Amino acid sequence: MAIRETWATRIGFILAAVGSAVGLGNIWRFPFLTAESGGAAFLVAYLFLVAVIGLPVILVEFVIGRESKQNVVDAFPEIGAPNWQFIGAIGALAGFVILSYYSVVGGWVIQYMVGSLTGGYAGNAEAFFGSAAEGTNAVAYDLLFMAIVAGIVSFGVRDGLERAAKVMIPSVVGLLVLLAAYGATLSGASEGYAYYLSPDMSTIVTDAIGLLPDAAGQAFFTLSLGMGVMITYASYLGEDRNMLRDSLLIVVVDTSIAILAGLAVFPFLFAQGVDPGTGGIGTTFVGLATAFASLPAGQVVGFVFFSMLLLASLTSAFSILEVIVSYAIDTFGVDRKPATLAIAAVIFLVGIPTAMSLDYLTLYDAIANQILLIGGGLLLAIFGGWFYASGASEELQKGMPGGETFTTVWIWVLRVPVVLVLAYVLYNGVLAVAGIVQGM
Ligand code: PFF
């Protein structure tokens, strides 16, 4: 591959990267984790980690991708660091675990699309979630979701997907604004906002430290970080592009959508008197379904909303499967179509326990976010900060005139705070996963 095409337009790259970042992580995972973890303190920890850990690590992936112009497997040898190639293998493994349950949640979204039209969740949102989330329905719709993703990856209809992102992002934002505005008129709204947005200043520091592991896992998951998606996407990026500006845009769009999802979900939870700490993994779906059931023309609005959420999750799932498939193609020399089908089939099989039981979904989610993505991020920070600092600095400064001071700060942030926080988070993640396994 002598000449590598670059993104024709800035918007093509941004759409692909935002398409990967924005998904179930923003709209399903962020609100339920925030609800479960005490509300505003979690929001503070999460925003802090996105800025102080997420942004520096996204830049490491960007410089590796753009300098090497390779996928995650070939990137490290290309920039003279063949010993670090195993980061690609960890990334592929993380993708494997994530997609195996991401597709289950994607299957829930399809069931909610159907449920919007038939009025299935209108009577009892909790019962609908119970029957959608675990068991044979969940397995069947998981299979459907995986089949769609595998179809997209094996036929390489990526262009269509990027174009879809153009419609999807404004639609998701518009609908969330609508829901949030409607939620603001409900009687429980102010309690909801207080829970979500006003941290207890006297305990915020201790609260936030306790929440660091979950908040860091969420920061990596939502930004699609730690497994090489952003390395691959940046490998098509031209050298005249200011990567700091691009990454800020991606981070701001992704974070705003998550915050907005919280604004749409919390008023409805409080209006119904649901204790946010007890809903667990179903909190967001139950909250949204209740909202649509009470909204005028809610069946239509609900259907449109879940369709857009499906698109958002497909663009994210696509980026995960693409990393694994290109890893397999480049490492083992297999053909794209059979590789895609075989990998998708294995991922589906591995994910069946998570469709049968929410306990397994929780376990897989913890392994992926608290160990694999964090481990990948820690290695990227050590590599970028300590082993590849001058190459990384030089690469970042292309397209960013006068960026020397920023670059120096960036490298030192990677070297010390990012490495320390991620090592702490990884240690806690291992303990947390061991705890989940013991409790099963
Ligand atoms: N960022 C996606 C979301 O928030 O839904 C999920 C994801 C995609 C995680 C790609 C990791 C990844 F590599």
Question: Whose CA is closest to 378, among 114, 56, 105, 144?
Answer: 56
Query: Which of 224, 254, 327, 367 for mutating ligand 1's site (highest number of atoms within 8 Å of CB)?
Result: 224
| Model confidence, pTM | 0.95
- Alpha-carbon dihedral angle through residues 90, 20, 236, 325, given to the nearest 10 degrees: 50
What pLDDT does residue 9 have? 67
Return the ∠ at Cα 227 (arms to 331 and 343), rounded to 5°. Answer: 50
Sign of CA dihedral 287, 265, 105, 439: negative
Count Cβ atoms below 10 Å from residue 370 Cβ, excluding itself.
Answer: 25
In contact, 59 and 230? CB cutoff 8 Å: no
**Whole-number Å distance between alpha carbons of 134 and 313:** 19
Query: Which residues, given as ranges, of the chain have pLDDT below 70?
Result: 1-9, 156-163
What pLDDT does residue 339 have? 93
Query: Which of 58, 221, 251 for mutating ligand 1's site (highest number of atoms within 8 Å of CB)?
Result: 221
What radius of gyration, in Å, describes the C-alpha atoms of the chain? 21
In contact, 418 and 57? CB cutoff 8 Å: yes
* CA of 224 relative to ligand 1 center, distance in Å: 4
Distant-in-sequence, close-in-space partners of 345: CB < 8 Å, separation ≥ 6: none
How many Å separate Cα 119 from the centre of its chain?
A: 29
In contact, 128 and 121? CB cutoff 8 Å: yes
Which ligand 1 atom minimizes the distance to the CA of 373?
Answer: 11
What pLDDT does residue 2 have? 35
Distant-in-sequence, close-in-space partners of 44: CB < 8 Å, separation ≥ 6: 199, 204, 208
What pLDDT does residue 16 have? 86
Count Cβ atoms below 10 Å from residue 16 Cβ, excluding itself.
Answer: 22
What pLDDT does residue 328 have? 85
Question: Whose CA is closest to 298, among 171, 126, 118?
Answer: 118
Q: How would DSSP label each residue in 10-51?
A: HHHHHHHHHHHHSSHIIIIIHHHHHHHTTTHHHHHHHHHHII
Which DSSP state fits 399? T
Q: How far is CA 9 from CA 12, 13, 15, 176, 189, in A?
A: 5, 7, 10, 28, 42
What pLDDT does residue 156 have? 66
**Whole-number Å distance between alpha carbons of 373 and 43:** 20
What are 31-45's pLDDT values in tens digits?
999 999 989 999 999
Pocket of ligand 1 (CB under 6 A): 20-21, 23-26, 98, 221-222, 224, 227, 229, 316, 319-320
* CA of 221 relative to ligand 1 center, distance in Å: 5
Distant-in-sequence, close-in-space partners of 216: CB < 8 Å, separation ≥ 6: 49, 53, 374, 421, 422, 425
* CA of 25 relative to ligand 1 center, distance in Å: 7
What pLDDT does residue 4 have? 54
What pLDDT does residue 3 have? 47
What pLDDT does residue 136 have? 96
Q: Which two tokens stand for residue 258?
A: 């998550």
Which ligand 1 atom minimizes the distance to the CA of 317?
Answer: 8
Query: Which of 58, 72, 98 for mutating ligand 1's site (highest number of atoms within 8 Å of CB)?
Result: 98
What are 275-296's pLDDT values in tens digits?
888 878 999 999 899 888 888 8
Question: Whose CA is closest to 13, among 78, 65, 88, 90?
Answer: 65
Q: Which two tokens stand for residue 400?
A: 């960013």
* CA of 288 relative to ligand 1 center, distance in Å: 21
